[in-house]
Chain A
Protein backbone atom coordinates (compact mmCIF):
# COMPACT_ATOMS: atom_id res chain seq x y z
CA UNK A 1 0.00 0.00 0.00
CA UNK A 2 1.39 3.37 -1.08
CA UNK A 3 0.34 6.81 0.05
CA UNK A 4 0.76 10.18 -1.65
CA UNK A 5 1.05 13.51 0.12
CA UNK A 6 -2.63 14.27 -0.46
CA UNK A 7 -3.48 11.17 1.60
CA UNK A 8 -1.14 12.18 4.41
CA UNK A 9 -2.62 15.69 4.38
CA UNK A 10 -6.19 14.42 4.60
CA UNK A 11 -5.46 11.74 7.22
CA UNK A 12 -3.55 14.22 9.39
CA UNK A 13 -6.39 16.77 9.27
CA UNK A 14 -9.03 14.10 9.89
CA UNK A 15 -7.13 12.69 12.88
CA UNK A 16 -6.56 16.10 14.45
CA UNK A 17 -9.95 17.70 13.89
CA UNK A 18 -11.87 14.43 14.09
CA UNK A 19 -10.16 13.69 17.41
CA UNK A 20 -11.00 17.15 18.72
CA UNK A 21 -14.64 16.85 17.54
CA UNK A 22 -15.07 13.39 19.02
CA UNK A 23 -13.57 14.27 22.40
CA UNK A 24 -15.64 17.48 22.48
CA UNK A 25 -18.78 15.40 21.95
CA UNK A 26 -17.70 13.15 24.77
CA UNK A 27 -17.08 16.20 26.97
CA UNK A 28 -13.40 15.42 27.30
CA UNK A 29 -11.92 18.31 25.31
CA UNK A 30 -10.99 21.04 27.79
CA UNK A 31 -8.58 23.84 26.96
CA UNK A 32 -9.03 25.82 30.13
CA UNK A 33 -9.19 25.17 33.80
CA UNK A 34 -12.57 26.26 35.11
CA UNK A 35 -11.07 26.34 38.59
CA UNK A 36 -9.33 29.67 38.13
CA UNK A 37 -10.02 32.41 40.64
CA UNK A 38 -10.94 35.93 39.62
CA UNK A 39 -8.19 38.55 39.50
CA UNK A 40 -7.96 41.78 41.45
CA UNK A 41 -9.43 44.42 39.15
CA UNK A 42 -7.55 47.45 40.40
CA UNK A 43 -5.07 48.74 42.91
CA UNK A 44 -1.58 47.53 43.70
CA UNK A 45 -2.46 43.88 43.08
CA UNK A 46 -4.42 44.35 39.83
CA UNK A 47 -4.06 41.36 37.52
CA UNK A 48 -3.14 38.89 40.30
CA UNK A 49 -5.45 36.07 41.34
CA UNK A 50 -7.60 36.98 44.31
CA UNK A 51 -7.58 34.32 47.03
CA UNK A 52 -10.99 35.54 48.20
CA UNK A 53 -12.40 33.86 45.09
CA UNK A 54 -11.14 30.37 46.00
CA UNK A 55 -14.23 28.12 46.08
CA UNK A 56 -14.91 25.00 48.07
CA UNK A 57 -14.69 22.88 44.91
CA UNK A 58 -11.10 23.96 44.21
CA UNK A 59 -8.56 21.24 44.77
CA UNK A 60 -5.18 21.94 46.33
CA UNK A 61 -3.79 21.28 42.86
CA UNK A 62 -5.93 24.10 41.38
CA UNK A 63 -4.75 26.44 44.12
CA UNK A 64 -1.14 25.37 43.77
CA UNK A 65 -1.30 26.04 40.02
CA UNK A 66 -3.02 29.41 40.30
CA UNK A 67 -1.01 30.80 43.21
CA UNK A 68 2.23 28.88 42.70
CA UNK A 69 2.25 27.52 46.23
CA UNK A 70 3.93 24.11 46.62
CA UNK A 71 1.21 21.51 46.99
CA UNK A 72 3.05 19.93 49.95
CA UNK A 73 2.71 23.19 51.88
CA UNK A 74 -1.06 23.16 51.35
CA UNK A 75 -1.41 19.49 52.25
CA UNK A 76 0.73 19.75 55.38
CA UNK A 77 -0.78 23.07 56.46
CA UNK A 78 -4.28 21.63 56.54
CA UNK A 79 -3.44 18.24 58.01
CA UNK A 80 -4.17 16.07 54.98
CA UNK A 81 -2.47 12.87 56.04
CA UNK A 82 -1.88 11.09 52.75
CA UNK A 83 0.46 13.03 50.38
CA UNK A 84 -1.05 11.12 47.45
CA UNK A 85 -4.34 12.94 48.19
CA UNK A 86 -2.88 16.45 48.31
CA UNK A 87 -3.56 17.19 44.65
CA UNK A 88 -7.18 16.06 44.56
CA UNK A 89 -8.14 17.34 48.02
CA UNK A 90 -11.02 19.83 47.73
CA UNK A 91 -11.17 22.79 50.11
CA UNK A 92 -14.75 21.99 51.05
CA UNK A 93 -13.62 18.66 52.50
CA UNK A 94 -12.04 20.62 55.34
CA UNK A 95 -15.47 21.71 56.50
CA UNK A 96 -16.60 18.18 57.23
CA UNK A 97 -13.16 17.18 58.45
CA UNK A 98 -13.25 19.90 61.09
CA UNK A 99 -17.00 20.07 61.66
CA UNK A 100 -16.79 19.86 65.43
CA UNK A 101 -14.37 22.74 65.61
CA UNK A 102 -16.87 24.81 63.70
CA UNK A 103 -19.41 23.95 66.37
CA UNK A 104 -17.01 25.53 68.86
CA UNK A 105 -16.92 28.63 66.73
CA UNK A 106 -13.47 27.86 65.24
CA UNK A 107 -14.01 27.27 61.57
CA UNK A 108 -11.27 25.61 59.52
CA UNK A 109 -12.59 25.45 55.97
CA UNK A 110 -12.41 27.15 52.60
CA UNK A 111 -12.12 30.52 54.36
CA UNK A 112 -8.99 29.27 56.13
CA UNK A 113 -7.47 28.22 52.79
CA UNK A 114 -8.20 31.69 51.39
CA UNK A 115 -6.60 33.25 54.45
CA UNK A 116 -3.56 30.96 54.24
CA UNK A 117 -3.05 31.64 50.52
CA UNK A 118 -3.41 35.40 50.97
CA UNK A 119 -0.84 35.49 53.77
CA UNK A 120 1.50 33.12 51.92
CA UNK A 121 1.47 35.35 48.84
CA UNK A 122 1.28 38.68 50.69
CA UNK A 123 -2.12 39.50 49.21
CA UNK A 124 -4.92 41.45 50.90
CA UNK A 125 -7.98 39.61 52.20
CA UNK A 126 -10.84 40.08 54.64
CA UNK A 127 -11.48 37.16 56.94
CA UNK A 128 -14.46 36.29 59.04
CA UNK A 129 -14.24 36.34 62.82
CA UNK A 130 -14.49 32.58 63.22
CA UNK A 131 -11.90 31.66 60.55
CA UNK A 132 -9.07 29.69 62.12
CA UNK A 133 -5.84 28.19 60.79
CA UNK A 134 -4.37 24.87 61.90
CA UNK A 135 -1.12 25.33 63.87
CA UNK A 136 0.77 23.55 61.07
CA UNK A 137 -0.42 26.23 58.64
CA UNK A 138 0.75 28.94 61.02
CA UNK A 139 4.21 27.34 61.24
CA UNK A 140 4.49 27.14 57.44
CA UNK A 141 3.44 30.78 57.11
CA UNK A 142 5.96 31.89 59.70
CA UNK A 143 8.70 30.03 57.86
CA UNK A 144 7.79 30.92 54.28
CA UNK A 145 5.72 34.10 54.17
CA UNK A 146 6.68 37.68 54.81
CA UNK A 147 4.44 38.51 57.73
CA UNK A 148 4.15 41.64 59.84
CA UNK A 149 4.32 41.42 63.63
CA UNK A 150 0.61 42.12 63.72
CA UNK A 151 -0.18 39.31 61.28
CA UNK A 152 1.94 36.85 63.28
CA UNK A 153 0.07 37.79 66.47
CA UNK A 154 -3.24 37.43 64.71
CA UNK A 155 -2.57 34.00 63.17
CA UNK A 156 -1.20 32.72 66.45
CA UNK A 157 -4.35 33.86 68.18
CA UNK A 158 -6.58 32.26 65.56
CA UNK A 159 -4.85 28.90 65.38
CA UNK A 160 -5.96 25.42 66.39
CA UNK A 161 -3.54 22.62 67.19
CA UNK A 162 -3.59 19.67 64.83
CA UNK A 163 -3.97 17.01 67.53
CA UNK A 164 -7.10 18.89 68.59
CA UNK A 165 -8.18 18.88 64.98
CA UNK A 166 -7.58 15.17 64.47
CA UNK A 167 -9.32 14.32 67.71
CA UNK A 168 -12.26 16.43 66.70
CA UNK A 169 -12.39 14.72 63.33
CA UNK A 170 -12.26 11.25 64.80
CA UNK A 171 -14.95 12.17 67.30
CA UNK A 172 -17.13 13.55 64.57
CA UNK A 173 -16.72 10.36 62.60
CA UNK A 174 -17.66 8.05 65.42
CA UNK A 175 -19.75 10.05 67.86
CA UNK A 176 -23.33 8.95 68.40
CA UNK A 177 -24.16 12.64 68.48
CA UNK A 178 -23.17 12.80 64.86
CA UNK A 179 -26.62 13.71 63.73
CA UNK A 180 -26.58 16.84 65.83
CA UNK A 181 -22.99 17.66 64.97
CA UNK A 182 -23.79 17.48 61.29
CA UNK A 183 -26.40 20.18 61.57
CA UNK A 184 -23.91 22.92 61.02
CA UNK A 185 -24.38 25.35 58.20
CA UNK A 186 -21.46 25.03 55.81
CA UNK A 187 -20.67 26.26 52.35
CA UNK A 188 -22.47 23.24 50.90
CA UNK A 189 -25.63 23.56 53.01
CA UNK A 190 -28.77 24.17 50.96
CA UNK A 191 -32.14 25.64 51.98
CA UNK A 192 -33.55 22.14 51.55
CA UNK A 193 -31.06 20.85 54.15
CA UNK A 194 -32.37 23.42 56.63
CA UNK A 195 -35.94 22.33 55.99
CA UNK A 196 -34.94 18.68 56.30
CA UNK A 197 -33.48 19.54 59.70
CA UNK A 198 -36.93 20.74 60.69
CA UNK A 199 -36.56 24.49 60.20
CA UNK A 200 -39.79 26.05 58.97
CA UNK A 201 -39.76 27.60 55.50
CA UNK A 202 -41.42 30.77 56.80
CA UNK A 203 -38.77 31.18 59.52
CA UNK A 204 -36.02 30.99 56.92
CA UNK A 205 -37.81 33.44 54.66
CA UNK A 206 -38.14 35.84 57.57
CA UNK A 207 -34.38 35.82 58.10
CA UNK A 208 -33.44 36.13 54.47
CA UNK A 209 -36.23 38.65 54.02
CA UNK A 210 -37.14 37.02 50.74
CA UNK A 211 -38.87 33.97 49.27
CA UNK A 212 -36.62 30.88 49.11
CA UNK A 213 -35.54 31.00 45.44
CA UNK A 214 -34.71 27.34 44.89
CA UNK A 215 -34.52 24.94 47.83
CA UNK A 216 -31.52 23.18 46.21
CA UNK A 217 -29.47 26.40 46.20
CA UNK A 218 -26.70 26.66 48.79
CA UNK A 219 -27.04 29.41 51.34
CA UNK A 220 -23.54 30.48 50.45
CA UNK A 221 -24.37 30.91 46.75
CA UNK A 222 -27.55 32.72 47.68
CA UNK A 223 -25.54 35.10 49.89
CA UNK A 224 -23.04 35.89 47.16
CA UNK A 225 -25.84 36.36 44.60
CA UNK A 226 -27.37 38.90 46.96
CA UNK A 227 -23.99 40.55 47.58
CA UNK A 228 -24.01 39.50 51.24
CA UNK A 229 -21.26 37.97 53.36
CA UNK A 230 -22.01 34.29 53.99
CA UNK A 231 -21.74 34.90 57.74
CA UNK A 232 -24.55 37.51 57.63
CA UNK A 233 -27.07 34.77 56.85
CA UNK A 234 -25.20 31.82 58.30
CA UNK A 235 -25.23 33.07 61.89
CA UNK A 236 -28.96 33.78 62.34
CA UNK A 237 -29.86 30.64 60.35
CA UNK A 238 -27.54 28.54 62.53
CA UNK A 239 -29.31 29.94 65.62
CA UNK A 240 -32.58 28.84 64.05
CA UNK A 241 -31.18 25.35 63.44
CA UNK A 242 -29.92 25.20 67.04
CA UNK A 243 -33.37 26.08 68.42
CA UNK A 244 -34.86 23.24 66.41
CA UNK A 245 -32.22 20.85 67.80
CA UNK A 246 -33.27 21.70 71.33
Chain B
Protein backbone atom coordinates (compact mmCIF):
# COMPACT_ATOMS: atom_id res chain seq x y z
CA UNK B 1 0.00 0.00 0.00
CA UNK B 2 1.45 3.42 -0.87
CA UNK B 3 2.65 5.35 2.11
CA UNK B 4 0.27 8.31 1.69
CA UNK B 5 -2.67 5.91 1.81
CA UNK B 6 -1.36 4.37 4.97
CA UNK B 7 -1.01 7.81 6.47
CA UNK B 8 -4.51 8.79 5.55
CA UNK B 9 -6.25 5.59 6.51
CA UNK B 10 -4.54 4.68 9.76
CA UNK B 11 -3.86 8.03 11.38
CA UNK B 12 -6.01 10.75 9.96
CA UNK B 13 -4.91 13.20 12.65
CA UNK B 14 -1.15 12.51 12.62
CA UNK B 15 0.99 15.23 11.06
CA UNK B 16 3.55 14.00 8.58
CA UNK B 17 6.23 16.09 6.95
CA UNK B 18 9.15 15.85 4.61
CA UNK B 19 12.36 15.09 6.47
CA UNK B 20 15.29 17.41 6.59
CA UNK B 21 17.64 15.09 8.42
CA UNK B 22 19.62 16.72 11.23
CA UNK B 23 23.36 16.79 10.65
CA UNK B 24 24.43 16.87 14.31
CA UNK B 25 25.30 13.20 14.54
CA UNK B 26 27.34 13.25 11.35
CA UNK B 27 29.15 16.33 12.63
CA UNK B 28 29.95 14.76 16.01
CA UNK B 29 31.08 11.51 14.36
CA UNK B 30 33.29 13.32 11.85
CA UNK B 31 34.75 15.48 14.61
CA UNK B 32 35.79 12.46 16.70
CA UNK B 33 37.08 10.58 13.66
CA UNK B 34 39.32 13.49 12.70
CA UNK B 35 40.38 14.09 16.30
CA UNK B 36 41.42 10.47 16.83
CA UNK B 37 43.18 10.34 13.44
CA UNK B 38 45.12 13.51 14.32
CA UNK B 39 46.02 12.23 17.79
CA UNK B 40 47.30 9.06 16.21
CA UNK B 41 49.28 11.02 13.62
CA UNK B 42 50.66 13.20 16.39
CA UNK B 43 52.46 10.16 17.76
CA UNK B 44 54.70 10.05 14.67
CA UNK B 45 55.04 13.81 14.53
CA UNK B 46 56.02 13.87 18.21
CA UNK B 47 58.90 11.49 17.54
CA UNK B 48 60.05 13.74 14.72
CA UNK B 49 59.79 16.75 17.08
CA UNK B 50 56.90 18.21 15.03
CA UNK B 51 53.96 17.56 17.36
CA UNK B 52 50.80 19.54 16.51
CA UNK B 53 50.43 22.26 19.17
CA UNK B 54 47.46 22.03 21.59
CA UNK B 55 46.71 18.49 20.45
CA UNK B 56 47.05 15.61 22.88
CA UNK B 57 50.24 13.59 22.58
CA UNK B 58 48.45 10.64 24.15
CA UNK B 59 48.53 7.19 22.61
CA UNK B 60 45.28 5.69 21.34
CA UNK B 61 45.27 3.32 24.31
CA UNK B 62 45.22 6.24 26.71
CA UNK B 63 42.06 7.68 25.15
CA UNK B 64 40.18 4.42 24.77
CA UNK B 65 37.54 3.88 27.46
CA UNK B 66 37.64 0.12 26.87
CA UNK B 67 41.17 0.16 28.31
CA UNK B 68 39.54 1.21 31.57
CA UNK B 69 37.13 -1.71 31.42
CA UNK B 70 39.86 -4.31 30.91
CA UNK B 71 41.88 -2.71 33.70
CA UNK B 72 39.14 -2.98 36.31
CA UNK B 73 40.33 -6.35 37.60
CA UNK B 74 43.94 -5.29 37.96
CA UNK B 75 42.97 -1.96 39.48
CA UNK B 76 40.74 -3.66 42.03
CA UNK B 77 43.32 -6.28 42.99
CA UNK B 78 46.64 -4.43 42.90
CA UNK B 79 45.68 -0.79 42.40
CA UNK B 80 47.42 -0.34 39.06
CA UNK B 81 46.45 -0.37 35.38
CA UNK B 82 47.30 -2.93 32.74
CA UNK B 83 50.16 -2.18 30.41
CA UNK B 84 49.69 0.98 28.27
CA UNK B 85 46.54 2.04 30.12
CA UNK B 86 46.46 5.20 32.22
CA UNK B 87 44.13 7.22 34.41
CA UNK B 88 42.61 8.84 31.29
CA UNK B 89 41.14 5.51 30.11
CA UNK B 90 39.49 5.05 33.48
CA UNK B 91 38.03 8.55 33.43
CA UNK B 92 36.69 8.07 29.89
CA UNK B 93 35.22 4.74 30.96
CA UNK B 94 33.26 6.49 33.73
CA UNK B 95 32.10 9.24 31.37
CA UNK B 96 30.94 6.60 28.86
CA UNK B 97 29.09 4.75 31.62
CA UNK B 98 27.35 7.93 32.77
CA UNK B 99 26.28 8.68 29.20
CA UNK B 100 25.14 5.07 28.80
CA UNK B 101 23.00 5.25 31.94
CA UNK B 102 21.24 8.24 30.38
CA UNK B 103 21.14 7.40 26.67
CA UNK B 104 22.55 3.90 26.16
CA UNK B 105 25.60 3.33 23.94
CA UNK B 106 25.92 6.88 22.52
CA UNK B 107 29.65 6.29 22.50
CA UNK B 108 29.07 3.59 19.85
CA UNK B 109 26.58 5.54 17.77
CA UNK B 110 28.04 9.03 18.03
CA UNK B 111 31.67 8.91 19.09
CA UNK B 112 33.47 5.66 18.19
CA UNK B 113 35.56 6.41 15.08
CA UNK B 114 35.61 2.76 14.12
CA UNK B 115 31.80 2.65 14.06
CA UNK B 116 31.85 5.78 11.92
CA UNK B 117 34.40 4.22 9.60
CA UNK B 118 32.21 1.13 9.11
CA UNK B 119 29.22 3.38 8.36
CA UNK B 120 31.23 5.20 5.72
CA UNK B 121 32.30 1.95 4.07
CA UNK B 122 28.66 0.85 4.35
CA UNK B 123 27.57 3.79 2.19
CA UNK B 124 29.43 2.16 -0.65
CA UNK B 125 27.76 -1.17 0.19
CA UNK B 126 24.35 0.52 0.01
CA UNK B 127 25.16 1.76 -3.47
CA UNK B 128 26.08 -1.75 -4.55
CA UNK B 129 23.34 -3.80 -2.87
CA UNK B 130 20.61 -1.15 -2.68
CA UNK B 131 17.66 -2.44 -0.58
CA UNK B 132 19.33 -5.80 0.02
CA UNK B 133 22.14 -4.10 1.92
CA UNK B 134 22.18 -5.03 5.61
CA UNK B 135 19.43 -7.62 5.00
CA UNK B 136 21.60 -10.44 3.71
CA UNK B 137 21.88 -12.56 6.87
CA UNK B 138 18.69 -14.43 7.81
CA UNK B 139 17.28 -13.14 11.09
CA UNK B 140 16.93 -16.59 12.70
CA UNK B 141 20.61 -17.16 12.35
CA UNK B 142 21.67 -13.56 12.87
CA UNK B 143 20.05 -13.09 16.27
CA UNK B 144 22.34 -15.75 17.78
CA UNK B 145 25.44 -14.37 16.09
CA UNK B 146 24.79 -11.10 17.91
CA UNK B 147 25.79 -12.73 21.21
CA UNK B 148 29.28 -13.65 20.02
CA UNK B 149 30.50 -10.28 21.26
CA UNK B 150 29.73 -11.30 24.84
CA UNK B 151 31.90 -14.39 24.46
CA UNK B 152 34.67 -12.17 23.10
CA UNK B 153 34.17 -9.77 26.02
CA UNK B 154 34.60 -12.57 28.57
CA UNK B 155 37.68 -13.87 26.77
CA UNK B 156 39.27 -10.42 26.63
CA UNK B 157 38.60 -9.72 30.31
CA UNK B 158 39.92 -13.13 31.34
CA UNK B 159 43.05 -12.90 29.19
CA UNK B 160 43.82 -9.34 30.30
CA UNK B 161 43.33 -10.19 33.96
CA UNK B 162 45.55 -13.25 33.64
CA UNK B 163 48.41 -11.52 31.85
CA UNK B 164 47.99 -7.85 32.92
CA UNK B 165 48.76 -6.93 29.30
CA UNK B 166 46.58 -5.32 26.68
CA UNK B 167 45.89 -8.61 24.88
CA UNK B 168 43.05 -7.16 22.80
CA UNK B 169 45.48 -4.96 20.86
CA UNK B 170 46.60 -8.02 18.89
CA UNK B 171 43.18 -8.39 17.27
CA UNK B 172 41.81 -4.85 17.59
CA UNK B 173 40.83 -3.52 14.12
CA UNK B 174 40.25 -0.01 15.53
CA UNK B 175 43.86 0.21 16.71
CA UNK B 176 45.00 -1.29 13.40
CA UNK B 177 43.03 1.30 11.39
CA UNK B 178 44.58 4.29 13.12
CA UNK B 179 48.08 2.82 13.38
CA UNK B 180 48.38 0.69 10.26
CA UNK B 181 51.82 2.17 9.59
CA UNK B 182 53.16 1.16 12.99
CA UNK B 183 55.03 -2.05 13.71
CA UNK B 184 53.03 -2.24 16.95
CA UNK B 185 50.06 -3.46 14.90
CA UNK B 186 49.88 -7.23 14.62
CA UNK B 187 49.15 -9.03 11.38
CA UNK B 188 46.07 -10.57 13.03
CA UNK B 189 44.67 -7.10 13.75
CA UNK B 190 45.26 -6.07 10.14
CA UNK B 191 43.46 -9.21 8.93
CA UNK B 192 40.53 -8.49 11.28
CA UNK B 193 40.46 -4.94 9.91
CA UNK B 194 40.44 -6.20 6.33
CA UNK B 195 37.63 -8.67 7.04
CA UNK B 196 35.61 -5.94 8.79
CA UNK B 197 36.00 -3.60 5.82
CA UNK B 198 34.89 -6.35 3.46
CA UNK B 199 31.90 -7.30 5.60
CA UNK B 200 30.90 -3.63 5.94
CA UNK B 201 30.07 -3.75 2.25
CA UNK B 202 27.28 -6.26 3.00
CA UNK B 203 26.30 -5.62 6.61
CA UNK B 204 26.10 -2.34 8.49
CA UNK B 205 28.61 -2.12 11.36
CA UNK B 206 29.62 -5.81 11.36
CA UNK B 207 32.30 -5.35 14.02
CA UNK B 208 29.81 -3.61 16.37
CA UNK B 209 27.14 -6.27 15.82
CA UNK B 210 29.16 -9.44 16.13
CA UNK B 211 32.51 -8.80 17.74
CA UNK B 212 33.00 -5.57 19.66
CA UNK B 213 33.50 -6.38 23.36
CA UNK B 214 33.09 -2.75 24.35
CA UNK B 215 29.80 -2.53 22.47
CA UNK B 216 28.77 -5.62 24.43
CA UNK B 217 29.45 -3.82 27.73
CA UNK B 218 27.62 -0.66 26.71
CA UNK B 219 24.78 -2.66 25.13
CA UNK B 220 23.77 -3.90 28.58
CA UNK B 221 22.83 -0.34 29.50
CA UNK B 222 20.01 -0.50 26.93
CA UNK B 223 18.10 -2.61 29.41
CA UNK B 224 17.83 0.15 31.98
CA UNK B 225 18.88 3.45 30.38
CA UNK B 226 16.90 6.51 31.46
CA UNK B 227 16.11 7.94 28.00
CA UNK B 228 14.82 5.22 25.69
CA UNK B 229 13.74 5.14 22.07
CA UNK B 230 9.97 5.01 22.49
CA UNK B 231 7.22 4.48 19.94
CA UNK B 232 3.77 5.94 20.34
CA UNK B 233 1.49 3.18 19.05
CA UNK B 234 -1.55 5.48 18.92
CA UNK B 235 0.01 7.66 16.20
CA UNK B 236 2.10 4.94 14.52
CA UNK B 237 1.00 4.17 10.95
CA UNK B 238 2.93 0.87 10.85
CA UNK B 239 4.91 1.86 7.81
CA UNK B 240 8.02 0.19 9.32
CA UNK B 241 10.28 3.01 8.16
CA UNK B 242 11.93 2.89 11.59
CA UNK B 243 12.80 -0.80 11.18
CA UNK B 244 14.30 -0.19 7.77
CA UNK B 245 16.33 2.76 9.01
CA UNK B 246 17.85 0.91 11.96
CA UNK B 247 21.48 0.00 11.20
CA UNK B 248 21.33 -2.72 13.86
CA UNK B 249 18.20 -4.37 12.34
CA UNK B 250 16.09 -3.79 15.45
CA UNK B 251 12.36 -4.11 15.04
CA UNK B 252 11.38 -0.73 16.49
CA UNK B 253 7.83 -0.93 15.13
CA UNK B 254 6.73 -3.88 17.25
CA UNK B 255 6.95 -2.44 20.74
CA UNK B 256 6.66 0.67 22.82
CA UNK B 257 10.34 1.06 23.78
CA UNK B 258 13.64 -0.28 22.46
CA UNK B 259 15.43 -2.44 25.02
CA UNK B 260 17.48 -4.41 22.53
CA UNK B 261 21.14 -4.83 23.62
CA UNK B 262 22.27 -3.91 20.11
CA UNK B 263 20.79 -0.40 19.97
CA UNK B 264 23.54 2.20 19.47
CA UNK B 265 21.36 5.26 20.18
CA UNK B 266 21.93 6.62 16.70
CA UNK B 267 18.36 8.03 16.63
CA UNK B 268 17.97 7.15 12.95
CA UNK B 269 14.60 5.57 13.67
CA UNK B 270 13.13 8.66 15.34
CA UNK B 271 10.52 11.04 13.96
CA UNK B 272 13.27 13.63 13.76
CA UNK B 273 15.14 11.42 11.28
CA UNK B 274 13.04 8.77 9.56
CA UNK B 275 9.61 8.10 11.07
CA UNK B 276 7.18 10.10 8.89
CA UNK B 277 4.79 10.90 11.75
CA UNK B 278 5.81 13.62 14.13
CA UNK B 279 6.14 12.70 17.82
CA UNK B 280 5.83 8.95 17.16
CA UNK B 281 9.35 7.55 17.62
CA UNK B 282 11.29 9.63 20.10
CA UNK B 283 14.07 9.58 22.64
CA UNK B 284 12.21 10.15 25.86
CA UNK B 285 11.76 9.28 29.51
CA UNK B 286 8.08 8.37 29.22
CA UNK B 287 7.12 4.86 30.37
CA UNK B 288 5.93 2.31 27.82
CA UNK B 289 6.00 -1.33 26.77
CA UNK B 290 9.27 -2.70 25.49
CA UNK B 291 10.69 -4.16 22.30
Contacts and interface: CB of A to CB of B under 8 A. Distances in A.
Interface of A: 1-6, 8-9, 11-13, 15-16, 19-20, 23, 28-33, 59, 61, 64-65, 68, 71, 84, 86-88
Interface string B223-259: 0000100000000000000000000000000000000
Contacts of B227: 1, 3
Interface stretch (B136-144, B167-175, B186-194, B265-273): B265-273
Contact of A31 (B58, B78, B102, B273): B58
B33 interface: no
B214 interface: no
B95 to A, nearest CB: 4
B79 interface: yes
B273 A9 contact: no
B273 A5 contact: yes
B27 A9 contact: yes
B99 interface: yes
B24 A2 contact: no
Interface of B: 22, 24-25, 27-28, 56-59, 62-63, 77-80, 83-84, 86-88, 91-92, 94-95, 98-99, 102-103, 106, 110-111, 164-165, 227, 265, 267, 270, 272-273, 282-286
B28 to A, nearest CB: 5
A1 B102 CA distance: 12
B86 A31 contact: yes
Contacts of B91: 19-20, 23, 28-29
A6 B273 CA distance: 12
A191 B239 CA distance: 82
A24 to B, nearest CB: 9
A64 B98 CA distance: 32
A60 to B, nearest CB: 10
Nearest to B103: A8
A61 to B, nearest CB: 5
A65 B164 CA distance: 9
15 contacts: A5-B24, A5-B25, A5-B267, A5-B273, A8-B110, A9-B27, A9-B28, A12-B106, A31-B62, A31-B86, A32-B59, A33-B86, A61-B80, A88-B78, A88-B79
Nearest to B163: A70
Contacts of A12: 28, 99, 103, 106, 110-111
Contacts of B88: 20, 29-31
A68 B56 CA distance: 26
Given A13-B28, A30-B87, A32-B58, A4 B95 contact: no
Contacts of A59: 80
Given A4-B22, A5-B24, A5-B273, A28 B87 contact: yes
